[in-house]
Amino acid sequence: MKISLVLTVIIILGLNSCKTAPSKYIYNEGVIHGTTYHIVYESPDGSDLHGEIDTLLKEYNMIFSVYEKESVISKVNNNVEVTLAPEFITCFNKAMEISEISDGAFDITCGPMVNAWGFGPEHKKKMTQEKVDSLKLLTGYHKVKIENGKVIKENPNMKLDMNALCDGYFCDLICEFLKQKGCKNYMAEIGGEVKAQGKNEKGNIWTIGINKPVEENVFVNNEIQAKVHIENMALATSGNYRNFYIEDGKKYAHTIDPKTGYPVQHSLLSATVITENGITSDGFATTFMVLGLEKSIELSKQMPEMEVYFIYADSIGNNKVYMSENFKQNLVE
């Protein structure tokens, strides 16, 4: 009888020890790369992973931030010997791929142009045609390459800027981290770029809003133009309606055309792109803002795996929408 009782106790204790903490949705937020992030995930055992996530984001920031003097990209730009992180190489290769597809509309070497126009870490310069022409000599994605683990620049004064890819790429990296932690349902939003897997806490597909292109501070006006479902995909939006300045009565937007050296002037107000990963969505959202409406529609049609939603101004200034055929399936009524 005693033996039986002991065995029963052991079995009960063994069964109890096999029980795991119930899963629950965790909400993390913070600041990184000059922007905010919001990450939601169903933690299998209820653990809060915020500390690890924040550490990872800071590590990524020290690879890509042009505002950090000791970052990998800053050392590359200053011709300091540095070991290239695998993430740097991945981002560089994706940038070259998008540059080839877009015939140079996307170009990570236009950092000096961005800085000179006042949209980077350096002070704005007095812009003249001569100044633009001199910057164009330092621009051209075909003038840089990675060889034997090093960035080779045709001109040592060339500088790289991967900000147009980073937020989307960070989403990819964080989602991969969550997947490795056993999470099956998660959403990562960094600087407005989003990647989502599975479902939210209510058991529904993740719903993301696309802002109306209103020329007001993001904290003042955050009106939604449309809502879309994101199921195991990534979404990125780029626009010129918030990051701009007016000088001598003329508006200068932050998207610089690498070929002309000037801020773009066209009717496209914002470009939203859905693909399987954040780095691709982010890169092409910027690319389309350089190309303008007609060229963007043409290019997007050549990539059936991509869905796009463009907001543009018509000839009399009214906002209009163009969307790819399959994008409509993602819209929330």
pLDDT 10s digits, 178-193: 999 999 999 999 999 9
Average pLDDT over residues 109-113: 88
pTM for the structure as a whole: 0.88
Q: Which of 19-23, 78-82, 146-150, 316-320 has the lowest mean pLDDT?
A: 19-23
Rg, Å, the chain Cα set: 23
* Amino acid of residue 315: S
Structure tokens at 232: 């195991």
What tokens does 125 get?
């310069």
Question: To the nearest whole number, what is the mean pLDDT of the chain?
Answer: 87
DSSP state of 112: H
Q: Report percent pLDDT > 70 for the chain.
A: 85
Arithmetic mean of pLDDT, 269-294: 96
Q: Which neighbouring-strand residues pair with 202?
A: none
In the chain, % of residues over pLDDT 90:
68
How high is the pLDDT of residue 20?
59
Average pLDDT of span 264-286 = 94
Q: How many C-beta neighbours within 10 Å does residue 95 have?
A: 23
Q: What is the dihedral of CA 186, 85, 280, 205, to 10 degrees?
A: 0
pLDDT digits (tens, 9 = 90+) for 209-257: 998 886 554 444 568 889 999 999 999 999 865 554 455 555 555 688 8
Residue 164 pLDDT exceeds 90? yes
- pLDDT tens track for 120-163: 666 676 778 998 899 999 999 999 999 999 999 999 999 999 99
Which amino acid, one-letter code, is at 110? Answer: C
Predicted pLDDT at 230: 94
- Identify the CA nearest to 238 among candidates 181, 296, 295, 188: 296
How far apart are the two ends of the chain, measured CA to CA in Å? Answer: 67
Q: Locate tokens 């990184």: which residue?
A: 32
The residue type of 262 is Y
Per-residue pLDDT at 119: 73
The rounded distance, in Å, linking the Cα atoms of 74 and 242 is: 26
Distance CA 302, CA 326 (A): 14
Q: What stretch of H or E contains 313?
A: strand 307-313
CATH 3.10.520.10 fits 205-333, yes or no: yes
**Residue 12 confidence (pLDDT):** 40
